[in-house]
Amino acid sequence: MHASRILTALLAGLVSFSALAAEQYDYSRIIQGSNMVFVPFVGSNYGPVYYTQYAQQTTPMGISGDLRRMTVNLRPTAHLPTSAVYNSFISANSISDTRVVPVPANGSCQPTQELKDLVSSMPAQFKPTILTGGYPNICAVNIYFWPHQEQAVRDLIAARPVIIMQASIPMCDPNGPALNVSAINQELIAQGVLQTNSAGDVYGNYWNLVFEATRLALLNPSLFVSADPKVGWEVYMKLFQVDSSTGIATMPAASQGPAYMCTPAPLNISYGVPVVP
């Protein structure tokens, strides 16, 4: 890629600078166990718990005119009435759960073809319908059927999935590489872009810093670890606190250690997906 194009790409990151800093996960502190994955926010023990194992849970049958109705919830096994692993996981790790449901934002649910075939005689408005999940249920399917089909529907639910769920949650590899922040600072200090105060903080004019850090990423991309220097550049720039009244960017001494780099490693979860021979 031509140098000017790389410069443009790096500078474009400034547009989303404040948004990137607004809510950050600390993937280096991910906790996994009992089919659960906890991802904390930076500097806290608060964050979402994701689940990798699910089970179908049926609500009591209802009556709608001549039809019968059941709802099947897709629920994490950690939240089944017979399980205590969720509470144990939370307590043992001293964490707080934000209680997110990853579908539909990061995936989808749909009725299985076998279920649709079983109740194919239903009028159009009574075909199997997917319902949005209410934590901890990831989603649900509403099933209408004729009274004489009740046992067949119950047998299918007991024997096989009636929901297909697939989700891919954006995450980072907990063992991703670290950015050598001190090495970058030393280069920029040597150039006169940054200075050091008595507290060990480094500081300098924000716009000079933007330009010179960008140029450094172009000329010495290995300092920014990633194959795409824009990634390392963004991580580095987010370590600065900018005073809008003076235009001075300051990196506290406490932020000058190795900085975690995100290597994309999505958490893929599924239920009822047909196995391809």
Q: pLDDT value at position 9?
A: 52
Please name the residue ranges forming H helices in 13-82: 17-22
Rounded CA separation 180/225 (Å): 8
Q: What is the pTM of this model?
A: 0.76
Q: pLDDT value at position 5?
A: 54
Q: pLDDT value at position 1?
A: 44
Residues 76, 56 contacting (CB under 8 angstroms): no
Angle between helices 206-219 and 181-190 (to 10 degrees): 110
Q: pLDDT value at position 175?
A: 86
Q: pLDDT value at position 8?
A: 53
Residues 181, 259 contacting (CB under 8 angstroms): yes
Angle between helices 229-237 and 206-219 (to 10 degrees): 150
Q: pLDDT value at position 15?
A: 38
Tokens of 81: 């009435």
Rounded CA separation 30/26 (Å): 7
Rounded CA separation 175/101 (Å): 25
* CA-based torsion, 43, 44, 45, 46: positive or negative: negative
Q: pLDDT value at position 212?
A: 96
Please provide residue 264's backbone torsions phi and psi, each rounded to the nearest 5 degrees.
Answer: -50, 130
Rounded CA separation 220/235 (Å): 16
3-state secondary structure at position 218? helix
Q: pLDDT value at position 245?
A: 94
Please provide residue 197's backbone torsions phi and psi, each rounded to the nearest 5 degrees.
Answer: -100, 180
Residues in the chain with pLDDT values less than 70? 1-23, 275-277
Nearest to 238, CA basis, from 27, 23, 9: 23
Q: pLDDT value at position 160?
A: 96
Tokens of 231: 């990634």
- For 18, how many CA atoms within 13 A lie in the half-sphere containing its CB? 4
Element (H, E) at 202: strand 202-205
